A and B are shown apart, each in its own frame.
Chain A
Amino acid sequence: MGQNGYLCPWVEKEYGGAGLGLEYSFIVTDEMAYAGVHGLMAGLHSDIVAPYIHTFGNEEQKKKWLPSSISGEIILAVAMTEPDAGSDLSSIRTTAVKEGENYIINGEKIYISNGILSNLVVVACKTETGHESPYKDVSLICVEDTSPGFFRGRNLEKAGWHSQDTGELIFRDCQVSVSNLLGDEGKGFYYMMEKLQQERLVSAIMSQASAEATFDMTLDYCKQRKGLKKIEIPIDTNGIAEMATDIEMGRTFLNSLIYDHIHGEDIIKRVSMAKWWTSDMANRIISQCMELYRDYGYLEDHKVGRFFRDARAHPIYAGTNEIMKRIIGKKLGI
C-alpha cells in the first residue's frame, strides 16, 4: 500500500505524501472496509494516528516519522485504553516522569490495534498528577518499538478482525527521549478529543461500507437464486427495501459529514450520531442479510459470517455508542 501511495495520501509532498485532500484517504479506508479487509488497520494508520504526528508534531518529528509512515516502512498505533480506563480516559494510570533527557514510562495499555506489529506508538501518559482537573495531566509521547523497557503483551483472541492484531503493551521503566513528546505537556487530553472527531468519522465510514458490502452481495445472491428458480424461501422484498433505505440514509448523512469535516467545521455532535447509528445499522443489516442466506450464512465459507463477526467491533471502539450518546446529550445541553 505504501509503495502505491495508498497510505496517508493527504500528507504534503515535502514529507513524501501525495498532497491530496483527506477525502482520498477516506476513499481508501472505505474500499478496504467494503472488501472486508481489516488487516494492518490502514485506516487507523493513515487517518487516525498519522494526523497526531502531523498536527501536533514539530518539524523534526514530522520529518523523522511521516515519510516512513507514508512508505509503509513503519506501522503506527495509538495507545489510550488501559485495563481500568476504557470509556473514562481521564483515569489512565500510565506515568511518564522526566529524568534528564528522557521520560521514564511505566504502565500498561490494552486492546491496542496494531499493538503487536506497530513500530511507533503514540502513548497517552500522565506527566503530572495532582491537578484539580485530571484532564490537565495527560501528555502524548511517541514510543519507538526499539525503546528500552517497551514490551508487548498478548495478541488477544477476539470475535472478529482476525487479520488484525489487538495487543497489550507494557512499559517498564521505558526510556524515551523528551524530544518524542507531541505538542505540549499536559495537553494530551485535548489533543485526543480533537482527533477523536476524525476517528469517529473513520469508524462510521467503515461501518457504512461493511453494511453496503453485505447488502450488495446478499442482493446479488437473492437475484441469482431467483434466476435459478431456487426459491427455497420467500425473498423478503419489504425487508430488502428497508435495508436499502437505511443504507441510503446512512450514506447521505456520512457524505455531508465528510464534506463539513474536510472544510474544517465542528461536527462533534453529528459525528457522534453517525458513529452510533451507522455501527448499529451495520450490525442490524448484516444480521438480517445472514438470514437471507439460510443456514449457509452461518458458515465461514460465506463472507457474510465474517462481516457479522467483524461488524460487532464498531459499536465498541473509538468510544462506545453509549459514550456517543453522552456526548450528544451534552451538546444538546442536557
Chain B
Amino acid sequence: MDFHLTTEQRDIQKAASEFAKGEFDPDAALDYDMRQQFPLTIWKKACELGFIGVYFPEEYGGQELDLLENALIVEAFCRQDSGVGMALALSDFGSEMIVRNGNVDQKKKILPFIAQGKGIVTSAFLEEGYFFAPFATYAKISNNGCMINGMKSFVTLGSIADYIIVVCQTGLDTPHAQTVILLERETDGIEVSSMGEKVGMRMIPVDQVVFVNVRVPAENIVGQEDTGYSQLQNFFNEMRIKTSAMGIGIAQGGLDKALEYSKKRVQFGKPIASFDAIRNKLADMHIDVEMARLIAYKAAWSFDTGKPDSRAILMSKMIASKTAYRTTYDAVQIFGGYGYMAEGHIEHFYRDAKVLDLFLEPGQIQRSMLADHILGRVSGE
C-alpha cells in the first residue's frame, strides 16, 4: 500500500494549481457568477494547455491519463474557484460515453473537438418522473435512422453545447432498453430553453431540451442499441468520481480561505485564529476534507485499476458533497459579515457547494443504493 502520488501525478497537480492561480482572477470569477456567464476565455486557455479531456486517448487529442489524474486537475481548479472550476470540469460532460462506447468515427469527430476547445459537449438524461428508467423520451429506430421525441430537464450547458448526447428509451416493455444517441444541437426539432436562475453554479446554464421528431442517422447511436442503461450507469460511476473531485476542491478552497482570513482578521486584540471557537472549527474542517479526499482518491484509483469499487464510489460522492457543503458553511461563518457579502469571495463557494448534493442523483438515492450494495437481497422485499 502506498498513499503517495507519483511524480507525474504531483506534476499534473502542480501545473493545474498554477494555471488556476494565474488565470482565475477572483473579481473576474465573481463577475461571471453575477452575469451568469460561462468563462469562455479561461476555458479556451485550459483546453490549449491540455487540461480538458486528459483521459481521452492520445490519438484523439487527449493524454491517455487516468481518472485520478483528471480528479487532481478538477480538484485544483475548484479549489481556486468553485464556479470556474465546475464550469471547466463540466465542459466535456458526457464525453465519457464516447470514450468508452463510441465508434472510431464518433471519437474522431467529438474528442479532438472537445480537447482543442473548439466546442462544448453535454449529455441529457434527467426527466421529470422516474430517475433512470423508464424514460419518457423515446427514440424510434428503423432502417431510416432514429426519430426522437420527448423532453429532458436539467441539461447542463444545453444552450451553449455544440453536441448533446441524449439517453432515450428504445424499448417500451423493458425499462432498461435505452439507447445513447449523439446529436448536434442545431439539428431540426431541438428546442432549448433556460430553466431559469439558480442558487449557485451560475456560470453553467441549466436548460430544458425538447425533441420534436428529431431525425438522425443510425450512425449517431453510441455503442449498441438498447445498451443505454448500462452505459449511463457506467457514466454515472465516472461522474460520481469527478463530482467528488469537485467537492473536495470546493471544500479545500473554503478551508484555504478560512485559514488565511482567520490569521489576519483581528478582534479583541488578536487574530481570530487564536480563539478556540475558530481553531476547533478549522481543525474539524481539515479532518472532513482529508477524509473526503482519501475516499475520493480511493474511488478514482479503483476505477483506474479496471475494477471500480461501487461502494467506495457511492460513498465518495456522498461524503465529498456533504463535506463541500459543511466546510463552506463554516468558512462563511469564520468570515462573519464579510462572508455573507459577495466581495468576501466565499459566499459563492457556499452556494455552489450545495449543488453537489443534488447533482447526478440526490444523496437519498445514493444512500438507498449503498444500502442495496451492503445488504444484498433482503427477504420480504
Contacts and interface: CB of A to CB of B under 8 A. Distances in A.
A291 B130 contact: no
A320 B333 contact: yes
B197 A299 contact: yes
B380 interface: no
A233 B362 contact: yes
B347 A298 contact: no
Contact of B196 (A236, A239, A300): A300
A234 interface: yes
A63 interface: no
A21 B153 CA distance: 51
Contacts of A312: 329, 332, 340, 347, 350
Contacts of A283: 329
B354 A290 contact: yes
Given A87-B336, A91-B267, A316-B337, A287 B354 contact: yes
Interface stretch (A6-14, A41-49, A114-122, A152-160): A152-160
Contacts of B294: none
Contacts of B196: 299-301
Contact of B340 (A91, A313, A322, A326): A313
A159 B332 CA distance: 10
A214 to B, nearest CB: 13
A160 B342 CA distance: 10
Given A110-B337, A316-B333, A321-B333, A290 B342 contact: no
Given A87-B336, A159-B342, A159-B347, A308 B354 contact: yes
Interface in A288-321: 290-292, 294-295, 297-301, 305, 308-309, 312-313, 315-317, 320-321
Contacts of A309: 199, 351
Interface in B132-182: 153-154
Given A297-B358, A322-B275, A233 B267 contact: no
Contact of A157 (B34, B350, B363): B34
B195 interface: yes
A287 B357 CA distance: 10
Contacts of B200: 298
A321 B343 CA distance: 22
A291 B368 CA distance: 14
A331 B199 CA distance: 39
Contacts of A326: 277
Contact of A316 (B34, B325, B339, B368): B339
Contacts of B348: 159
A321 B281 CA distance: 12
Contacts of B339: 316
B275 A234 contact: no
Interface residues on B, range: 35 or more
Interface in B242-294: 266-269, 272, 275, 277-278
A230 B350 contact: no
A86 interface: yes
Nearest to B363: A291
B341 A111 contact: yes
A88 B130 contact: no
A325 B281 CA distance: 13
Interface string A152-173: 0000111110000010000000
Nearest to B332: A312
Contacts of A230: 128-129
Contacts of A308: 199, 354
Nearest to B361: A233
A81 interface: yes
A87 to B, nearest CB: 5
A215 B19 CA distance: 43
A325 B277 contact: yes
Contacts of A81: 337
A294 B358 contact: yes
B340 A316 contact: yes
Contact of A88 (B206, B268, B329, B350): B268
Contacts of B269: 88, 91
Nearest to A305: B199
A232 interface: yes
A301 to B, nearest CB: 5
B275 A158 contact: no
A91 B272 CA distance: 14
A322 B347 CA distance: 18
A18 to B, nearest CB: 34
B65 interface: no
Contacts of B199: 298-300, 305, 308-309
Nearest to B267: A88
B299 to A, nearest CB: 21
A287 B332 CA distance: 15
A295 B365 CA distance: 13
B277 A158 contact: no
Interface in A200-254: 230, 232-234, 236, 239
> Which of B277, B337, B355 counts the most A-chain CB atoms under 10 A from its CB?
B337
B126 interface: yes
B337 A111 contact: yes
B214 to A, nearest CB: 24
A326 B269 CA distance: 16
Interface string B118-131: 00000000101111
Interface in B16-60: 34
Contact of A232 (B130, B332, B343): B130
Interface of B: 34, 126, 128-131, 153-154, 195-201, 206, 266-269, 272, 275, 277-278, 325, 329, 332-333, 336-337, 339-343, 347-348, 350-351, 354-355, 357-359, 362-365, 368
Given A232-B131, A234-B364, A298-B199, 7 more contacts: A156-B341, A287-B357, A299-B199, A308-B199, A309-B199, A309-B351, A321-B333
20 contacts: A87-B272, A111-B341, A157-B34, A157-B343, A159-B342, A232-B130, A239-B364, A287-B325, A294-B358, A297-B358, A298-B200, A298-B358, A299-B195, A299-B197, A300-B196, A309-B199, A312-B329, A312-B350, A320-B336, A325-B277
In the A-B complex, the 10 residue pairs with the smallest Cβ-Cβ separation, listed nearest first, are: A157-B342, A159-B347, A300-B197, A322-B277, A88-B267, A305-B199, A111-B337, A88-B268, A295-B154, A291-B362
